[in-house]
Structure 1
Amino acid sequence: MARTRASTPVLAASGETPVTVLPGVGASVAAKLQARGIGSLQDLWLHLPLRYEDRTTLLPIRALKPGLPAQVEGRVEAVERGFRYRPMLRVAVSDGSGGTLVLRFFHFRAAQVAQFTIGTRLRAYGTPRPGQHGLEIVHPSYRVLGEGEEPGLGEALDPVYPAIEGIGPATLRKLIGQALERLPDEAALEVLPPALLAGMTLPSLRQALLTMHRPPADVDLAALAAGTHPVQRRLALEELLAHHLSQRRQRIALQRQRAPALRGRDGLAKALLDALPFRLTAAQRRVFDEIRKDLARAHPMLRLVQGDVGSGKTVVAALAAMLAVERGKQVALAAPTELLAEQHLANLRGWLEPLGVRVAWLAGKVTGKARGKVLEEVASGHAQVVVGTHALMQDNVVFDDLALAIVDEQHRFGVHQRLALRDKGAAAGVVPHQLVMTATPIPRTLAMAAYSDLDVSAIDELPPGRTPVQTSVLSAERRPELVERIRLACAQGRQAYWVCTLIDESDEVVATAAQNTYETLSAQLPELRIGLVHGRMKAAEKQAAMRAFKVAETHLLVATTVIEVGVDVPNASLMIIENAERLGLAQLHQLRGRVGRGAAASSCVLMYQPPLSAMARQRLETMRQTNDGFLIAEKDLELRGPGELLGTRQTGLAAFRIADLARDAALLPAVHALAERLLRESPAVADRVVARWVGGAARYASA
C-alpha cells in the first residue's frame, strides 16, 4: 500500500479541497480539525508555525547559553532519582567539550529510567537554564543512540504548530506536510495580480508558505522570530488586505442604505451652545462639524468619536442629538452601565430640558407603570431623547422615528446588541445614523485596521483648567504612608478614592476585598466619612453611595473598578489603586481619569504587590511617565495586542494567523491602496482574498 502511494504522483489540489482527501483523515480526525476551523487543505496551509526548533546543528555543551535553544549529543555520566516534594529524575550528560548538562524530568516512567544507563549516547534538544549544578534542560526532547549509529542532522528547521486538541504534534506535522504536497503552482495559487505587488519586493504566496512551513537551515532566524522576514510580510499583507476588504464591503453595503438627511435649521444646537457655561474647545468644534456634515447626507453616518477621559464627548453628542430633534426625529443614547447612563442622563437633562426637549430614562430598574409610561412616550415620539442601558435594545422598545443612535463605550456592547439598536430605526429601507464613542483612545494602527468601516474623529484636546494628574508607583509595604496622605488631603477639604482589585474576577471575592478595605480604613481614619461601592450592592445602594460622594457628604470612597467610567467628582483629587499591577493600561488610565477633573492639583498612586513581572513594570512605568491617552493606547497595543482594546466580542482581529497590528503597521497604507484598487478594478479577486483568509466569518462591521 505504501509503495502504491509513493509511486503515484500527488496532484495539486484547490484550496477548497476537504481535508478528508488526506490519508489517515477519517471522520474523527476531521471533526477535531473542524473544531479548530480547519476543514480544507487551504486551512492547513494557513495553519502557520508558532516557532521553530533548530536541529540542523550540534552544539558543544560548553558553548550552550541560557535561554537559547540548542541540540547536543553526549554520554550519560550519572543518573539520580529523587522524591523531594515530587518525583524527579536528573540525568547528567557530557560530550568531552569540558561541560556537563543536566536533563531534568518531572514526569517519567520506569522504562524511561532504564534507558539512561551510564555511558549511553543521547541526542537532546531544549532550552538550557541555570540550575543547581550548572545548566539544565527541563523535559528535553531526546533520542537514545546505538553504538556506531550516526543519524544525520535535519536539513531544515522543525516547525512547532499551534496545538489542536486530540491531534498530537507529530500527526499534525504529517498532515500539514501532506497538504503541502498538494500545494498548486505559483500561477494557480496566487490570487493578487502581479502588477499589484510590483515594487514591493515580496516573494510569491507559494514561496512564502513553503518557507514558513519548511524554512531552510540558512534562514534568517532572528527575522523569523521578530516576524519581519519577507515571507511573513507577504502573508501578513494578504491577511490584512482580506480583513480590510471584508470591512470595506460591509461599509459599502451600509452606504447603499438610506438615512434621514438632517440638514436645514440648527436652532436647537445654537441654543444649546449659547446656554452652555463653557466654550467648546477647537477639537470639539472640529468633530461636531464633521458629524454635522455626515448627518446632512441621505446615507447613514457611521462615525467613531474617540477622546481621552474628560475631553468632552458627551456635549458633542448632545449637539448632534439636537440636529435630529430639530427635525422632529428621535435620538437614543446607550451606555454599558447604569452609572455611566445616569451620568449622561443628568448632563442631558441639565442641558436640554431648559430648551424644551423631553429626555426619557430607560434602564433595567425602571419597572412596572413607570416603564410602561416611558415605553408609551418612546413609541409616540413624545420622548425625543432616550437615555438607557442594554434595556434600550429589548424587543418591546419601539421608537416612533429614531434617526440617530449613539453608543458610548461601544466595545463593551456585543455586536448584536448594537445591531439591535440600529434596527430600532430601520423602516422602509431607511436606517438611523450611528455615532459611537469611546474614552479609550485607539491607536492609529488599530483604527486603520479594526475600524476601517468607520469614520474616526478624535477629540485630542482637554478643556482649559484641567491640571495633569501626577502619578506615582509605590510598593504595598508603604500602605501606612498612603493612609496618612488621605487623612491630610481630606483635612484640606479634598476627597479621595481607594480602588480595590483582585486577580479573581468573581464579583463576590472582589466585593469582600472592598468590604475588608472599607472596614480597615474606617478603623484607621475614624474622623472621615467613608463610602463603599462594589458590584454586588443593589443599584439603589450604589447610586446612594455615589451621590453622597458627589455632593461631598463622604470624604473617601472605597470602590471596585465599577467606578472606571461615568463618575465625575471635580473635588476628588487623590486616587489610590491597590494591586495596580493586575490591571491593563487602558483600565488604569480610565480609573486615573476620575481625578484631575477640577482645577486642584491631583495625584494617582499605583500601589503594587512585589515582585513585578516585566510587563507589569512596563505598564506602571508608562502610567507614571504620561497622561496622554493616545500614547498609552499605543503602548497597550504593543504590550498586549488588539484583543483587549477591541473587546473579544467586537472582532476576530485578535485571532490573526500571522499579522500583528503593532508590528505590521507600516503595511497598512499599502493594504488600503490595494483594497481600493481591487474593489474598483477586480471585485472577483477581492472575493477570493476574503474567502481565503476570512471565510464566512461575519464581521458585523456595520454595527
Structure 2
Amino acid sequence: MGDRLAASLAARGLSTVQDLWFLLPLRYEDRTRLTAIADLRSGEPAQVEGTVEAVERGFRYRPMLRVAVGDGSHRTVVLRFFHFRAAQVAQFRPGVRLRCFGTPRPGQHGLEIVHPSYRVLAADEDPALGESLDPVYPSIEGVGPATLRKLIGQALEKLPPAEALELLPHGTPGLAGLPGLRESLLVLHRPAPGEDLAALGAGTHPAQRRLALEELLAHHLGLRRQRLAQQQLRARALDGPGELARRLRAQLPFALTGAQQRVYQQVRADLARPSPMQRLVQGDVGSGKTVVAALAATLAVEQGGQVALAAPTELLAEQHLANLRAWLEPLGIRVAWLAGKVTGKARAAALADVASGAAQVVVGTHALMQEGVAFHDLVLVIVDEQHRFGVQQRLALRDKGPAHGHVPHQLVMTATPIPRTLAMTAYADLDVSAIDELPPGRTPVQTVAVSADRRPELVERIRVACAEGRQVYWVCTLIEEAEEPGKGQGPGLQAQAAERTFEQLTAQLPGVRVGLVHGRMKASGKQAAMRAFKDGHTDLLVATTVIEVGVDVPNASLMIIENAERLGLAQLHQLRGRVGRGAAASSCVLLYQPPLSATARQRLDVLRRTGDGFVIAEEDLKLRGPGELLGTRQTGLAAFRIADLARDADLLPKVHQLADRLLTSAPDVADRVIARWIGGAARYAGA
C-alpha cells in the first residue's frame, strides 16, 4: 500500500497484518437474500430490488431527493437522500432497476429508507447474492470502507493454520465449548448467512466470547506483570514507631471509624516493606480518605522523607491543603502549596523549599508534575481521583522520586467506588482497600424524583431553605441554548441551560444571592464562584456538573439536579455527595422530563433506594458498562476491542485461573498473549 494509506492506518494503531485481523466489524448487513417490498418491516435492515416509479426533488429546510421504488407487489418504498449530486439525480429515471440495502422506517407515505446503499442494474443484469453477511467496520479517516474491507480480506488470506495461530494450548480450562482462534476470526469477519445475528449484535456469540476471553487475559496478565515488575523495585521501608501518627490521632476532633482504622493499618503495613506500596483506597464522598492519607504522610515525614499530594483541580487541592495544614502544622510538619496560580517569588520560594527538603509535604495540582519541580527525597506520592490525570503526568510524578535507587510508595484515592469484578481486572496491579463506612453523625441524604412540571414548588422550597440560612445547589446539564441538539439527549428532550436557569432563578428569588459556575468559564471565574459559595457569600449556586468533584460546603443541604435522567448513576451519586456533609438533614431532588425510558427509571429508582456507593457502582456497571467508571481514556488501560467488562464478567474467574497458570508454567506464552493484544500499551498500565 502507499505511504498515505499506511499513515492513515497507523494513526488508528493499525501497523501490522495481525492488527487488521483484530479490527472486528461493528455490525453486519445481510445481502445474502432479497426481501419483497410488501414484506419489509420497520427497523429491520433488508435488501430489496425494484424499479424506479417516481422521483421528486424538493427543498424543505434543506435539499431533499425522494425516489419511489416498486417491485410489482402493489407496494412501494421511498428512498430519501439529503446529500446528493446532480449526477446521482440523473441516475434515478423512472423505469431504472435498483438493488438497495438499508433500514426502513415509517415515513409520510409508508415505509422509507434514508440514505440506502444502492446499485443501478442493467436491464438484463442479475447479480449474484452475497455468500456471507457483509461486515461494517469502524470508520477510519482517510480510508474508504471498500478499501478497508479489501485490506482486511487480504490480511485474512494470510491467517496461519489453526495450530500456529493458537497461543493457548488445547484443553486449556475455560476454553471448553468455544471455537479456536482462527475459526473465531473467520466467523466474525465472514459470518455465514445462518449465523445468529442477534448474538453477534449482543456480543454473546461463542466466537466473540473466545476472543473476549483472550483479550481479558492479556490485560490481566499485563497488569500482573506490571505488579511483579513493581515488586522488584526498591522503596524506603517506612517502619518507624508511628509517634507522629499517634499524636495526630490524639488531636483530631473525631474518632476514626472502624473502616478508616482498618485501611490505615493496611497502608502502614505496606509502607513498612522495602518494595513500593501500590494501594488504591476507594470510599464514598465524605468517608474520610484524606485522614488516612494524612496518617500515611506522618509515617513518611517521621523517617525524614517528603510527601507529594496531587489533586486534579485547584479547588480540591486547596481543600486538601487546608485540612493537612490544620492537622499537620501543629505537629511541626511544614506543608507547601504548588499550583498554577502560585507564580513569581512565591513559586520560586516554594520550589526552593521542595528542593531543599524544608517542605516536608507538598500539595498541588498538575503543577507538581512539571519539569522544574525537584524533590529532595520523595518517598510517598498520594494521588486523588487518579483517573482524572493523564498517564504521562502520573509517570512524571512517580519519576521525581528515585533517589538512592529507591522509588516512592504510591497511594491512590478515589471517591468513585469500583465494583469488585472491575477492580480485580482493571486494577490488578494495585491492592484495593475500601472505606465502606461513613463517619458517625452523617445523616443519609433523602432522595426524591420529581417531574419537571413541579418546578414552581421547588423554587418556593429554595426560598424557604435560604431564608433559614441554608445553602442550595441547582445542577444543570447544558450550558446554553445554542448547545447542539440531539447530542447525548433523548428525542425531544429540552435540557435546561445553566445560564437561562441562573437568570430565571435570580428573577424569581429577589432576596436570594445566586451564583453561577460552568465549564466554559475561565478557571479564575470558576474558583471565585465556588469560593463565594463555600464562604457563605452566595445562597444558591447554579452549576453544571463541574462541581461533581469539588469543595466541602457543610451548610449546603438541598441539591436539585435538573434533567437527572441524562446522567449516569455514578455521576448522580457523586453530585448528591456534595450535600449531607453537615448536621442538618439534607435532600436531593432528581428533576426529570417525562416520559422516562426504562433505563432512566431504573437509575433513579436505585438512587432513591440506596446511598451506598458500592451498591450504586455495581448497578451502574450493569446498566452502563465499565468505560465511564474507569475513565478508560485516561487510565492508560488500552481500550478493549472486543471484551466488555460488564457483559463478560462471568469470564473473569476463568481469566484469573488462566493467568496464574501461565505466569507459573508458561511465562513465554503470557508474553506473547500480552504482545498480541496490548503491545506497547502494557508499560503504561500501572502508571
The change in CA–CA distance for 1:107 and 1:544 in structure 2 (over 3 A counts) is closer
Show the counterpart of 1:458. 434
| In structure 1, C-alpha distance between the alignment counterparts of 2:325 and 2:635, rounded to whole Å | 34
Contact 2:173/2:654, CA 8 A, preserved across alignment: no
* Correspondence for 2:492: none
- Structure 2 residue 165 is matched with structure 1 residue 181: no
* 1:365 has 2:341 as partner: yes
Corresponding residue number in structure 2 for 1:234: 210
Amino acid in the other structure paired with 1:701: A
Partner of 2:511: 527
3-state SS of paired residue (1:104) = strand
Where does residue 201 of structure 1 map in the other structure? 177
SS where residue 215 of structure 2 aligns?
helix
Aligned residues of 1:500 and 1:561 also touching (Cα < 8 A): yes
Q: Given residue 250 of structure 1, which amino acid in structure 2 is its aligned partner?
A: Q
Q: Distance in 1 between matches of 2:481 and 2:352?
A: 39
User: Pairwise mapping of residues 499-514 of structure 1 onto structure 2 (< 5 A)?
Assistant: 499-502=475-478
Q: Does 1:686 align with 2:670?
A: yes
463-472 vs 618-627, which moves further:
618-627
Paired residues for 1:534-613 under 5 Å? 546=530, 548-580=532-564, 583-607=567-591
- Matched with 2:19 is 43
Tell me the residue number matched to 1:353: 329
Query: Any conservation in 2 of the 1:79–1:92 contact (CA below 8 Å)?
Result: yes
Pair 1:486 & 2:462 matched: yes
Distance 1:531 1:117, change over 3 A: closer
Q: C-alpha displacement at 1:646, in angstroms?
A: 3.0
Assess if the C-alpha contact under 8 Å between 1:502 and 1:579 holds in 2.
Answer: no
* Deviation digits for residues 658-685 of structure 1 (CA, Å, limit 9, x no counterpart): 1112111111222222222222222221
Aligned-partner Cα distance in 2 for 1:514–1:110: 44
Residues 1:384 and 2:360 are matched in the alignment: yes
Distance 1:384 1:29 in 2: 53
Q: Does 1:54 align with 2:38?
A: no
What residue number does 1:663 align with?
647
**1:144-177: CA deviation from partner (whole Å, max 9, x where unpaired):** 4445544333221111111222222222212211
Instruction: Supply the distance in 2 between the matched residues of 1:41 and 1:62 (Cα, whole angstroms).
Output: 44
Q: 1:301 maps to what in 2?
A: 277
Query: Aligned residue pairs: how many?
Result: 675
Distance 1:272 1:549 in 2: 30
Is the 1:641–1:654 contact (alpha carbons within 8 Å) kept by the matching residues of 2?
no
Q: Does 1:280 align with 2:256?
A: yes
State the distance in 2 between where 1:284 and 1:111 align: 72
With 444-453 and 425-434 compared, the bigger mean Cα shift is at 444-453
Partner of 1:446: 422
Structure 1 residue 375 corresponds to structure 2 residue 351: yes
The TM-score with structure 2 as length reference comes to 0.90
Higher alpha-carbon deviation: 646-655 or 597-606: 646-655
Cα gap change, 1:505 to 1:287, in 2 (>3 Å): farther
8 Å contact kept, 2:55–2:92 = yes
What is the CA distance between 1:332 and its match in structure 2?
1.6
Distance 1:641 1:177 in 2: 31
1:252 shift after superposition? 1.5
How far apart, CA to CA, are the structure 2 residues paired with 1:210 and 1:111? 38
Query: Is contact 1:415-1:649 (8 Å) kept?
Result: no
1:127 pairs with 2:111:
no
> Matched residues, percent identical?
77
1:235-288 deviation per Cα after TM superposition (whole angstroms, max 9, x unaligned): 111112222222222222111110111124122222222322222222222222
Partner secondary structure for residue 269 of structure 1: helix
- The more displaced of 46-55 and 133-142 is 133-142
Deviates more, 1:174-183 or 1:90-99: 90-99
Note the C-alpha offset of 1:300.
0.2
Name the CA distance, whole Å, in 2 between partners of 1:108 and 1:546.
Answer: 50
Alignment of 1:224-263 (within 5 A): 224-263=200-239
1:650 is paired with a residue whose SS is: helix
1:676 corresponds to which residue? 660
SS in 2 for 1:424: coil
- Amino acid in the other structure paired with 1:482: L
User: What corresponds to 1:4 in structure 2?
Assistant: none
TM-score, reference length from structure 1: 0.88
Residue 417 of structure 1 aligns with which residue? 393
Cα 1:627–1:62, aligned 2, differ >3 Å: closer, same or farther? Answer: farther
Q: CA deviation at 1:568?
A: 1.5
Structure 1 counterpart of 2:66? 90
Q: 1:627 aligns with which of 596, 602, 611?
A: 611
After superposition, give the CA deviation of every residue in 1:503-530 in whole Å (9 maximum; x if it has no partner).
57999xxxx9766655543443232344
Separation in 1 of the partners of 2:265 and 2:316?
A: 26
Query: Is the 8 Å Cα contact of residues 41 and 104 (structure 2) preserved in structure 1?
Result: yes
Task: Report the Cα distance in structure 1 between the residues aligned to 2:70 and 2:518, rounded to whole angstroms.
Answer: 60
SS at match of 1:67: coil
- How far the C-alpha of 1:435 sits from its partner, in A, is 0.2
Counterpart contact for 1:643–1:654, Cα < 8 Å: no
Q: CA deviation at 1:44?
A: 1.3
Rate the CA distance shift 1:505–1:284 in 2: closer, same or farther, 3 A: farther
Q: Distance in 2 between matches of 1:521 and 1:448?
A: 46
Unaligned runs of 5+ in 1: 1-24
- The residue type equivalent to 1:334 in the other structure is A
- Which 10-residue stretch deviates more, 671-680 or 539-548? 539-548
